[in-house]
Chain A
Amino acid sequence: MVQAVLQPGGDGATALYIVAFSLFIIGIKRGTHPTTAKQGNLVAAVGMALAVVTTLLLDGIGNWGLIALGLGVGTAVGVIASVRVQMTEMPQMVALYNGVGGGAVALISWAEIRHGISEIDHGTIASIPLDTLIPILFAAVVGSVSFWGSNIAFAKLQDLIPTKPLAVPGQQAINVVLLIGIVAACVSIAVGNDDPSQLTFIAILIAAGLLGNLVVLPIGGADMPVVISLLNAFTGLSAAAAGFALDNVALIVAGTLVGSSGTILTMEMATAMNRSVANVLFAGFGGAPTGGASGSGEERPHVAIGAQDAAIKLAYADTVVIVPGYGLAVAQAQHAIKEVGDELEKRGVTVNYAIHPVAGRMPGHMNVLLAEADVPYENLKEMEEINPEMARTDVAVVVGANDVTNPAAKTDPDSPIAGMPIIEVNEAQQVIVIKRSLSPGFAGIDNDLFYEPNTSMLFADAKQAAADIAAEIQNL
C-alpha cells in the first residue's frame, strides 16, 4: 500500500489539484474542433484521475471498504449506461447526469454541516463560520433543486410523465413562497443558535427539492434544451460552492467551468427561441395552448405526395437541404435519412443538413444523431450559414421539424413564436415536409409552411418515408 504522503489542504495536494484543473481547461479547449475533441476528452479524464488519486493519498483517509463500494457501484452504473445509451436518448442521459451531480453536492453539503457541528463542543449550525456555512447552504439548495429538477426533466424526456406543460393554478405564487421560505430558513439557521439538530437543514433540502419539481413540471418538451442547459449550469455552481466549503481549488475551478458552459448554452438556446430564460421557466409556451383536436376548424388546402414523387423531385435537383427535427430522433430516422443523402450524392446532387439550434431536446442533439449516421460534420450547417443559401436551394426536406420552420415567426407579429429565428425553408424553390399528420407542433399553432403552394406534404413515419424515398431514387 502506498503510504499517504499528502496533507489535507497542504501545498502538495493543492499543486496536484492545480495540475488537474489545468488539464480540464486544456481538455475543453481541445473540444473546440471535432478532430481534436476526442483527445481533449482524454486529457480531461487524465486530469480527473489525477484529482481522485491525489484525494485518496491524503493523510488519514480511511474507510476504504466504503470508498471502494461507492466507486465500484458508480463505475459499474456509469459504464453500463454509457455503453448502452442510444444517441437519441442523450438528452435523458445528460438530465440524469445533471441529477446525480446535483444530488452528490446536496449530500456532501449535508455531511459538511454534520462535520462542522461535530468539530465544536456543543456545536450548532450557527457555530460554523459564515464563510463555510454560506457556501454549504448555497450548495445544498442548488444541488437539491438540480437533483429533483433533473429527475423531472429525465422523466419527461423518457415519457414517464406527460411532456405537455403541467400547469397548477397558483404555481408561480407557490414557487415564490417556497423560495422565500428557503432563504428565510437559511438565514435563521445561520443566525439562530439553539438548534443542535439538523431538522431545519433537512427541511431546506426538502423544500429545495420541491421547488425543483415544481419549476420543471410545467415546462414542456420543446423547452427542454433550455432546461437541461440551465440545470447543467446549476450543478456547476453547486460544485463551485462545495469547493468554497471544502477549501478545494479543483472543485472551485471545475465547478465554475461547468457553470460557464451551462450558462452559455442556456443563453444560446433561449436566444434561438427568442425567449428569455425567465419566460421559459415561468410561462408555459403561449400560455398553455388549449389542447383540442389539431385539425379542428377549417381544413386548409395542401398538397400531399408519395415517396415516388418525392424521390423524383429530389433526384432531379441540384441542391438539397435536409432540415431534421425532434421527429427524426423519435423515429430513429437518422440512418435512413443519411441513405437518402447518399443516393442523392451518387447522382451528383449537393446535400447539406440545416440544423436549428433548438432542433431536438438538447443543444447539438441533431448533430450527434447525424454524426452517428456518418454524415460528415462539414455538411452540418448552422441556421445563420444556411439561410442565405435557401433561395438557391432546389428542394428543402423537412424531417420531423415543425415550429423551427414556421414562416409565421417572421410574418405574423401576433404569433406565439413571433421573432423566433427559423430555418427559412419557405425560401427554397420547393419544400417537402415529411410528417405524420398536419398536427401543429409544440407551440400549438398551425404551420403556414404546410399550405404554401411550393410545399408538398409526405404523410408518413420519418424512418419509413426516408427508406422508401431512398429505394425510389435507386429505381429511377
Chain B
Amino acid sequence: MSLMTEITILVLAAFVGFEVISKVPTTLHTPLMSQTNAIHGIVMLGGLIVVGYANDPLEYVIGTIAIAFGAINIVGGFMVTDRMLGMFSKKPKPKADADAKGGT
C-alpha cells in the first residue's frame, strides 16, 4: 500500500469515527471507552506478526509480551463492556413491573 493510500484511509476513518462516535449518548461513554480499549487490542495482530516471523530471542520476548497485552485488551475489553451493557439493557420496564405488582 502506498503512503498516500494509507493516509486516505486514515482521513476517511477519522471522519467516520467522529460521525459515529459523536452520536453515542453520554450514558454509554464508559462502555464506549472500554469497547474502544478492546478495539485497540487490534495491535495484537502486530505482536502475532512479530512472533510469527521472529527468529531472535529478544523478538520472541518482546512479541510475546505484546501479544499478552493485546489479548488483555481484547478479551478484557469486550467482556467488561458486555457486563456493563447488560446492566443497561436488563429490566427495561421496571416501572410497569412495579405497577403490576401493585407497588409492594
Contact = CB atoms under 8 A, between A and B. Distances in A.
The A interface is mostly helix, strand or loop, or mixed, namely helix
Contact of B79 (A78, A107, A232, A362): A78
A263 B28 CA distance: 16
A423 interface: no
**Interface size bracket, A side:** 35 or more
A34 B88 contact: yes
B31 A368 contact: yes
Given A81-B72, A114-B56, A58 B49 contact: yes
A174 B73 CA distance: 32
B11 to A, nearest CB: 9
B42 A254 contact: yes
Given A236-B40, A251-B46, A363-B29, A78 B10 contact: no
B89 A37 contact: yes
A410 to B, nearest CB: 21
Contacts of B86: 38
B100 interface: no
Given A75-B71, A240-B10, A251-B45, A25 B16 contact: yes
A111 B86 CA distance: 39
Contact of A37 (B20, B74, B88): B88
Interface string B65-76: 111111111111
Nearest to B91: A374
A263 B18 CA distance: 9
A31 B77 contact: no
B70 A104 contact: yes
A317 B88 CA distance: 28
Nearest to A368: B30
Nearest to B30: A364
Interface in A61-75: 61-63, 66-67, 69-71, 73-75
A257 B77 CA distance: 15
B66 A364 contact: no
The B interface is mostly helix, strand or loop, or mixed, namely helix
Interface in B8-67: 9-10, 13-14, 16-18, 20-54, 56, 58-60, 62-67
A9 to B, nearest CB: 8
A94 B79 CA distance: 13
Contacts of B60: 63, 66
B72 A264 contact: no
A83 B42 CA distance: 21
A61 B6 contact: no
Contacts of B82: 38, 41-42
A229 B33 CA distance: 8
B50 A254 contact: no
Contacts of A240: 10
Contacts of B81: 41
Nearest to A375: B94
Contacts of B16: 25, 257
A101 B1 contact: no
B46 to A, nearest CB: 4
Contacts of A418: none
Contacts of A258: 36-37, 39-40
A82 B83 contact: yes
A87 interface: yes
Nearest to B17: A260
Contacts of A38: 82, 85-86, 88-89
A247 B1 contact: yes
Contacts of B95: 345, 376
Given A58-B49, A100-B70, A257-B21, 5 more contacts: A51-B45, A70-B66, A70-B67, A265-B29, A367-B29
Interface of B: 1, 3, 6, 9-10, 13-14, 16-18, 20-54, 56, 58-60, 62-92, 94-95, 98, 103
- Which are the 8 A-B pairs with shortest beta-carbon distances? A74-B71, A70-B67, A260-B17, A364-B29, A78-B76, A78-B75, A61-B52, A363-B29
15 contacts: A31-B28, A32-B25, A45-B78, A55-B49, A67-B52, A69-B64, A94-B33, A101-B37, A104-B44, A110-B62, A243-B6, A244-B10, A365-B30, A368-B31, A371-B27
